[in-house]
């Protein structure tokens, strides 16, 4: 059929091009898979105001409470007053300010690495760099439970892809051995893994992954978003935690939006990595630089981690206290090894019902369900912070026990 202007208008109207959006949303509601977004009306602290209600916060990434640390807040204010609210451009053009360069240097020093490069977000670091690391004739090998930003980064590339079973180094070795037989041989192979898996709180077996990577001449890329500030010497992350060398883990990616308490992403490794990334990663090249106040706040957060190690110790004390109590109460807490504690519920409706019950008790948690986790693996994801008191944790334990018995979880 030959289409003229009027034909196009009629086709567009008759098909209702956005109707399916509402239909899909209603399906999510029916299946208890929709997000119900609440509004934080105060600072992110253990006790805060959400939807007009005072609650105990147990679902923030603000592990060390640096988002409200006086030194971090003051650094934001001072830099903003002096340098303005925005950088005015991309870092690649005219927005590369002294705070950005200083942050790159300070982060590399903190990580005991030759170089670092900061991005606007952690998601943008993965989505910008990963597609540039490899192309046609190359291979990405990824843990099956990797973060969505890694998955999207791989999808944006033109590489072959292979998946290995979660944390299964024998399966990884099998995949790598098969890759060796590829004809023609792959030019480059990269192994991609989360450091801390954000939905389960478990750690990647990074030493074994690094060993297999070395045996096969593959690059190793680790997303340590939830490990920084929590793992390693003084919160220096998973590479430090496992005492690995920089020639064993080639890219350590991270974020300032969790334990550092601010916003922004970054990569750490060699000088060649930094030079490659800022010339190739489109998310870095084509996005506005973070405001000077944000960069200054990130530098201040590094200062705090270097000078106040008690924050890291305290978050682990809180984590151990709550984890043992939940286990003693009969909850399945999965295989967590970090301050992320999954409380397994099974069905998405059960997780939602438990979260709703806890809300009535003044406890703010969120249900996590498909597609963020597998079907019938829904859970409440509890995240601890430095400032939680024992009394607050006891209150949470009592509420979890009451809700768990009521819903038949324990």
Task: Give pLDDT tens digits for 261-293.
Answer: 999 999 999 999 999 999 999 999 999 999 999
Q: Output the CA torsion 49→51→52→57 (10° steps).
A: -20
Locate 5 and state its tokens.
Answer: 């202007």
- Kindly name the residue from 116, 142, 198, 257 that is annotated as catalytic: 198
Whether 199 contacts 177, CB under 8 Å: no
Torsion (CA) 163, 169, 173, 179 in degrees, nearest 10: 20
**Tens digits of pLDDT across the chain (410 residues):** 455 554 555 555 557 788 899 999 999 999 888 888 999 999 999 999 999 999 999 999 999 999 999 999 999 999 999 999 999 999 999 999 999 999 999 999 999 999 999 999 999 999 999 999 999 999 999 999 999 999 999 999 999 999 999 999 999 999 999 999 999 999 999 999 999 999 999 999 999 999 999 999 999 999 999 999 999 999 999 999 999 999 999 999 999 999 999 999 999 999 999 999 999 999 999 999 999 999 999 999 999 999 999 999 999 999 999 999 999 999 999 999 999 999 999 999 999 999 999 999 999 999 998 888 888 999 999 999 999 999 999 999 999 999 999 999 99
Instruction: Say which of 250, 258, 311, 387 is annotated catalytic.
Output: 258
Examine the residue annotation and report whether 226 is marked as an active-site residue of this protein: yes
**pTM confidence score:** 0.92
Q: Which domains does the chain have, with CATH numbers?
A: 33-62+310-406 (3.90.1150.10), 70-307 (3.40.640.10)
Helices (H), 52-202: 70-83, 98-110, 122-133, 148-155, 169-180
- What is the C-alpha separation between 64 and 302, in angstroms, rounded? 12
Active-site residue flag, 198: yes
d(CA 363, CA 354): 11
Which one of the listed residues 147, 226, 241, 388 is annotated catalytic?
Answer: 226
Q: Are 304 and 69 in contact (CB under 8 A)?
A: yes
Question: Is 82 known to be catalytic?
Answer: no
């Amino acid at each position: 059929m030959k289409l003229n202007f009027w034909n196009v208008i009629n086709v567009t109207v008759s098909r209702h091009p956005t109707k399916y959006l509402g239909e899909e949303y209603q399906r999510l509601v029916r299946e208890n898979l929709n997000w119900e977004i609440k509004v934080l009306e105060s600072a992110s602290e253990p006790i805060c105001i959400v939807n007009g209600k005072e609650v105990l916060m147990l679902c923030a990434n603000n592990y060390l409470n640096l988002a409200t640390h006086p030194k971090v807040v003051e650094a934001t204010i001072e830099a903003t007053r002096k340098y303005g609210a925005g950088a005015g451009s991309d870092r690649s053009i005219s927005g590369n300010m002294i705070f950005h360069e200083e942050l790159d240097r300070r982060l590399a020093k903190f990580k005991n690495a030759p170089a670092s490069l900061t991005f606007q977000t952690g998601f943008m670091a993965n989505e910008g760099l990963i597609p540039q690391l490899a192309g046609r004739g190359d291979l990405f090998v990824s843990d099956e439970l990797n973060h969505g930003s890694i998955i999207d980064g791989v999808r944006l590339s033109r590489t072959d892809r292979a998946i290995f079973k979660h944390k299964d180094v024998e399966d990884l070795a099998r995949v790598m051995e098969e890759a060796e037989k590829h004809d023609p041989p792959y030019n480059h192979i990269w192994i991609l893994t989360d450091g801390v898996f954000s939905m389960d709180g478990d750690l990647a077996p990074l030493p074994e992954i690094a060993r297999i990577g070395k045996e096969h001449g593959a690059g190793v890329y680790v997303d340590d978003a939830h490990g920084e500030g929590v793992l390693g010497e003084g919160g220096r992350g998973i590479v430090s935690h496992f005492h690995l060398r920089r020639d064993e883990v080639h890219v350590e990616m991270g974020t300032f939006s969790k334990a550092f308490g601010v916003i922004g992403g970054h990569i750490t490794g060699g000088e060649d990595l930094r030079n490659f990334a800022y010339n190739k990663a489109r998310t870095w090249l084509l996005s506005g630089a973070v405001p000077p106040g944000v960069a200054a706040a990130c530098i201040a957060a590094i200062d705090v981690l270097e000078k106040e190690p008690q924050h890291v110790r305290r978050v682990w004390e809180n984590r151990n206290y709550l984890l043992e109590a939940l286990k003693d109460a009969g909850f399945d807490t999965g295989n967590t090894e970090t301050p992320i504690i999954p409380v397994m519920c099974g069905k998405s409706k059960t997780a939602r019902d438990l979260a709703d019950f806890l809300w009535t008790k003044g406890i703010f948690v969120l249900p996590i369900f498909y597609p963020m986790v597998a079907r019938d693996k829904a859970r409440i994801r509890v995240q601890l912070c430095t400032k939680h008191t024992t009394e607050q944790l006891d209150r949470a334990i009592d509420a979890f026990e009451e809700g768990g018995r009521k819903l038949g979880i324990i």
